[in-house]
């Protein structure tokens, strides 16, 4: 199944998307992959399960998500 359909956002073609797997702080490959589709949609999936569930974002949602990351919106408290 290469095409995923979101009822409100539209279609995301996993086979045609350009997938990136960011590295972790120690340089090892991360657990998530980010997919960029020609229609502007962005998706997240687990690298070890490419045919599993994916999260689909519109360009506006992806921009808001990135801004939230930069602003520390998703930071978790650390335990000493």
Q: DSSP labels for 12-72?
A: EETTTSEEE--B-TTSSBPSEEEEE-TTS-EEEEETT-TTS-EEEE-HHHHHHHHHHHHTT
Residue extents of the structural domains in the chain: 3-70
The mean predicted confidence, pLDDT, of the chain is 91
Burial of 43 (0-12, 13-18, 19+ CB in 10 A): buried
Inform me whether the pLDDT recorded for 56 exceeds 80.
yes
Stated pTM of the model: 0.81
Note the pLDDT tens digit of each residue in 12-48: 999 999 999 999 889 999 999 999 999 999 999 999 9
Does the structure show a pLDDT above 90 at 63?
yes
Q: Which of 32, 42, 38 is nearest to 9 (CA)?
A: 42
Span 51-67, average pLDDT? 94
For residue 49, pLDDT over 80 is answered with yes
């Amino acid at each position: 199944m290469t095409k995923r359909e979101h009822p409100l956002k539209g279609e995301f073609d996993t086979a045609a998307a350009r997938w990136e797997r960011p590295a972790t702080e120690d340089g090892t490959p991360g657990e998530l992959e980010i997919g960029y589709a020609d229609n502007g949609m962005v998706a997240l999936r687990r690298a070890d399960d490419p045919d599993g569930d994916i999260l689909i974002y519109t360009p506006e949602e992806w921009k808001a998500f990135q801004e939230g990351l930069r602003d520390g919106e998703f930071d978790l408290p650390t335990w000493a």
